[in-house]
Structure 1
Amino acid sequence: MFRTLAALALLTLTVACGETQMHEAREDLGEFSARVTYVHTDKARQWPTSRDAEGSEWNAALENALDTRMRRYEGRQQYDVAVTLEGFLLAPAGIPLILSPKSVAVVNVFVYDVEKKEFLAREHQMEIFESTTGQSALLGSGHARTKEEQIQGLSLNIVDKLEEYMAEQHKENGWFDLREGAVPDAADDAAAAPATAPLANAADTPAAG
């Protein structure tokens, strides 16, 4: 039994991945620049077996991650980005090496083209798991991390995956390509305009067909 557990522990440590960092290399997002960012958590559902948490407890971590990552881009075209937290499970304490549940969240994301006044992404749903490190792999997230740490880690992973999704769409579908006739100061003009906040109520926006 001891040899089996030791072998399992070694395998777990080998496959464990590092945690996502706030400051990582930027993706290729073309001419993207964030005008405003939004986070909605008021309708988030806590799933069975999750540690208790209110949707509002996610606000600070999600807002910080979204704003920090999106504000790194200084393209010439303005976009609004929103994330709505739909549901989550913050892993409780399990049985180390045997039953080690991972935290997970489901979000809908929105990307809005300010100049064209149209959605590029409207309620695109993503399922995001927390990162696994050697400690959490061995002990389980519920033992290795506090509730606050789980929320912070998941929030960063949500925005990281959103950023990767946007880069993929830019590469494959031309999102954020420089528009014909665009001039260098176009972004300045858009930024100076009042933010009408089409995503302010994104959580109540009907899904696209």
Structure 2
Amino acid sequence: MLRLIALLSLLAAVAACTNPNDLGKAPVPLGDFKLGYNVVVAPNIAKGPLSRDASNEEWIASMKKAVDERFRRYDGDKLYHLAISIEGYVLAVPGVPIVASPKSALILNVTAWDDAAGKKLNEKPEQVTVIESFSGETIIGSGLTQSKEQQMTNLSRNSAKLIQNWLERQKYQENWFGGTAADRKPAAKPVRATPKTPAAKPAVADS
């Protein structure tokens, strides 16, 4: 728990954010990637300080939906599985605007598997840590402006986007998914644009 608090405090200071509202655009090339199993677990999830409650089942459902939404768009030649373990979270509660309102955050561990080879692509799980994006709505704290469900959806979508960014880096740096050579194939078609969600809304399992 102390580690979780330290991480969330650091994130609140740096406020790294991402934009998950790009699902209406063609997905970034990921070589021969096609999503096989989408496995999400939460065996030892820790709830951070000043947080609303959310069940393991709620988090698993939210994260699986976000991963499917982002990665089922790819139609490569090989199957790859994603195993995600939800480690900790904070869902901001109403507080004193600006000064004391906490930020929502989520911590995941992610492992990618090569189906044909039957092995992990990364032996050590990749940790993905996400804090809610800043906007006019969340600068006073999403606990004041959003429901628990909205916060979870936004964090899950942001997490899926950061997982995509990580996979893209690995494709270039470690030649995952056939490397850049496999990018010569036509890109997968984008899905119909998903209505943008409030800005708060963005490893792994040792499976």
TM-score of the pair, normalised by structure 2: 0.74
Range 151-160 or range 126-135, more displaced? 126-135
Distance 1:39 1:55, change over 3 A: same
Q: How many angstroms apart in 2 are the aligned matches of 1:105 and 1:97? A: 20
Q: How far is the alpha carbon of 1:60 from its aligned partner?
A: 2.0
Q: How far is the alpha carbon of 1:19 from its aligned partner?
A: 5.3
Tell me the equivalent position of 2:132.
130
What is the one-letter code of the residue matched to 2:164?
E
Distance 1:163 1:18, change over 3 A: closer
Q: Residue 95 of structure 1 aligns to a residue in which SS? A: coil
Tell me the equivalent position of 2:34.
33
Q: What stretches of structure 1 move > 4 A for 4+ residues in a row?
A: none
Tell me the equivalent position of 1:151.
152
Q: How many angstroms apart in 2 are the aligned matches of 1:108 and 1:129? A: 15
Q: How many angstroms apart in 2 are the aligned matches of 1:32 and 1:132? A: 31
Q: How many angstroms apart in 1 are the aligned matches of 2:37 and 2:21? A: 23
Q: What are the equivalent positions in structure 2 for 1:52-201 lying under 5 Å apart?
A: 52-122=53-123, 123-137=125-139, 139-177=140-178
Q: How many angstroms apart in 2 are the aligned matches of 1:47 and 1:102? A: 11
Tell me the equivalent position of 2:10.
none
Q: How far is the alpha carbon of 1:20 from its aligned partner?
A: 2.4
Q: Higher relative contact order by CA 8 Å / sep ≥ 6: 1 or 2?
A: 2
Q: How many angstroms apart in 2 are the aligned matches of 1:32 and 1:111? A: 11
TM-score of the pair, normalised by structure 1: 0.73
Tell me the equivalent position of 1:21.
21
Q: How many angstroms apart in 1 are the aligned matches of 2:29 and 2:102? A: 34
Q: Deviations over 1:145-172 (max 9, x none)?
A: 1111111100111111000100011012
% identical equivalent positions: 32
- Check whether the contact 1:32–1:79 (CA below 8 A) recurs between aligned residues: yes
Q: How many angstroms apart in 1 are the aligned matches of 2:206 and 2:169? A: 26
- Check whether the contact 1:41–1:85 (CA below 8 A) recurs between aligned residues: yes
